[in-house]
Amino acid sequence: MADEIQHLTRAFSGLGGLGVDEPAMVSALAKWRRQPEKLSGFRKSFNGFFKDHGGVIEKCEEEYMLHLAAEFSRLSMEMELIGLLWLCLFTVQNLMVMWAMHPWERDARLAHHVLHQAHPAAIVVEIACTRTAEELLGARKAYQALFHHSLEEDVAYRARDKPYCGLLVGLVSAYRYEGPRVSEETARAEAKALVAAVKGAGHAAAKLVENDDVVRILTTRSKPHLVETFKHYKEIHGRHIEEDLGHEETLREAALCLATPARYFSEVVAAAVSDGADHHAKEALTRVAVTRADVDMDAIRAAYHEQFGGRLEDAVAGKAHGYYRDALLSLVAGGK
């Protein structure tokens, strides 16, 4: 493993000022699948790129980010770090840096970027609802270490004028039970409460996203519990819950991320590769490929095929080019 780590370190370091070794980087993506210990070893050994940050994460060094950006793209060294990290979204550089980051730092930076750049709240919902309880707690620790604010307080302040503020704060603050036990009686009762809330919202000015029962159920219950609750909801109401939440996008995204994440991510990728996709939609391609490659990419591919009738790999290959395409396919195709 030590030789592989040294090889990747040389690839990131630049070949005597001639640029980084992109083929070596892409090769590592395929070889290091589901081997987080290698990436951890890489971060710990590459002191020029990563530094221990308060014992929480091995943090990307801003100075090295400037060097790396120049090696990749010969961009001006005076560009701000935020631009270097997130402006060049459709490059091997961005993908490889996101891949190499500690997952907690990656999620913290994604959330911070969204909150401070007036982006849609979907990425914050995604992080809060598709990570495990420990992963979300780790992202919150990293956020505080990096930005000297808690994620919760930044969400509360940045979304203070939005009707979904309470929901979003509850989602990022959650530490959900992850065991298998589900109370069928409680799930059925809460399904009835959700049906009542949906019906009531159709006759009142108040938004469903501000309903106390809806917010409580989505922000506190375990994911297996919510799966059962949504199953009972359909039995009672005759419709999938996300169909009734379509007019309140943040609620719909939360429901999908919590109960059927593969379906949610397949929709995100489909939007990213569609004709006419905007900047926010396109940037999701790198994010989903990197963050889900070792988690549930097989399920995402299956969901994509079921929903859109084609292969996810083919859709990605048709939209990306060069080493960026090769890097994406190494993550998306799962070695197939």
Reported pTM: 0.87
Q: Identify the H or E element spanning 193.
A: helix 184-201
Is residue 74 included in any domain, yes or no? yes
If one counts the domains in the chain, the total is 1
Is residue 195 included in any domain, yes or no? no
Across 254-271, average pLDDT? 98
Residues 169, 174, 175, CA angle at the centre, nearest 5°? 165
pLDDT at 277: 87
We report the CATH number of the domain holding residue 17 as 1.10.220.10
pLDDT of 294 > 60? The answer is yes
Higher pLDDT, 332 or 26: 332
Is residue 273 included in any domain, yes or no? no
pLDDT of 89 > 50? The answer is no
For 42, the domain range is: 2-173
Across 227-231, average pLDDT? 98
Give 22-71 pLDDT, tens digit per residue.
888 888 888 887 788 888 888 888 877 787 777 777 777 766 666 666 66
Percent residues over pLDDT 70 in the chain: 87
pLDDT at 64: 67
**DSSP line for 226-259:** HHHHHHHHHHHHSS-HHHHTTTSHHHHHHHHHHH
Is residue 96 included in any domain, yes or no? yes
Is residue 67 included in any domain, yes or no? yes
Is residue 200 included in any domain, yes or no? no
The tokens for 73 are 């793209």
Is residue 51 included in any domain, yes or no? yes
Is residue 205 included in any domain, yes or no? no
